[in-house]
Amino acid sequence: MTEFDSDNSETSESPGCIILGLVIFSLLSGLAMLLFFVGCQAPPAAVVPQGPGWESWISADGSYEVMLYIPDPAPLNQEFTAHGTVFKDGKPISEAVEVVFDGGMPQHAHGLAVPVETIRRPAGGFAAAGVRFHMGGRWLLTVDIIDGPHLERARGWVEIR
């Protein structure tokens, strides 16, 4: 009679152990490659709004781009919220950068009737609630970008009828 060795000691290498080891190695290698490729991708490009009411301004020194929304047509003698996004090198500015919105009519030597408080929003955004153009004509709007001691201003004209 023939005897079979039923010793399943740690030194025996069955095909199942080898296959299991290869599967685990393949999974770990695939996971490492996936993490590498995901980590190497550039962040998604910022969405630049377009359409009626959107204005694109470049700051005086060219460091910033301001995308500003003013309703088109802008309301006369009614409060509204102007809002926008500030970009530097194609990316939204950090939350630490201050943004100040203002406006005036230099030809009449006056500004907005009521001071506007500019509130920062995530991803480089800002909102200026309570903007009111109290008379028709050309208004010069300004957006000041203050990053520590550095201040840059973006300006643009709107016609209110």
Torsion angle, alpha carbons of 72, 74, 75, 79, to 10? 120
CB atoms within 10 A of CB 104: 14
Rg (the chain; Cα; Å): 30
* pLDDT given at position 104: 94
* pLDDT given at position 112: 92
- 101 DSSP β-pair partners: 143
Mean pLDDT on 71-91: 92
How does pLDDT run across 40-77, given as a tens digit for each residue? 665 545 555 667 789 999 999 999 999 999 998 888 99
> Residue 108: phi, psi to the nearest 5?
-110, 0
- Long-range own/partner contacts, residues 45-53 (CB < 8 A, 24 or more apart): 45/90, 46/85, 46/87, 46/90, 46/91, 46/92, 46/123, 46/124, 48/87, 49/85
The lowest-confidence range among 18-27, 84-93, 103-112, 121-130 is: 18-27
How does pLDDT run across 25-50, given as a tens digit for each residue? 888 887 777 767 666 665 545 555 66
pLDDT-derived band at 100, boundaries 50, 70, 90: very high
* pLDDT given at position 75: 87
How does pLDDT run across 114-138, given as a tens digit for each residue? 889 999 999 999 999 999 999 999 9
Contacts of 120 (CB under 8 A, 6+ apart): 95, 98, 99, 126
Query: Which residue carries 């009111």 as its tokens?
Result: 132
Which pair of tokens denotes residue 80?
């509204």
The lowest-confidence range among 21-25, 62-66, 96-100, 136-140 is: 21-25
Mean pLDDT on 80-106: 95
* pLDDT given at position 30: 79
C-alpha 41: how far from chain center? 17
What strands lie across the sheet with 137-147, from one edge to the other?
Answer: 110-111, 98-105, 137-147, 150-160
Q: Is the pLDDT of residue 5 over 70?
A: no
* pLDDT given at position 8: 55
- The whole-chain average pLDDT of the chain stands at 85
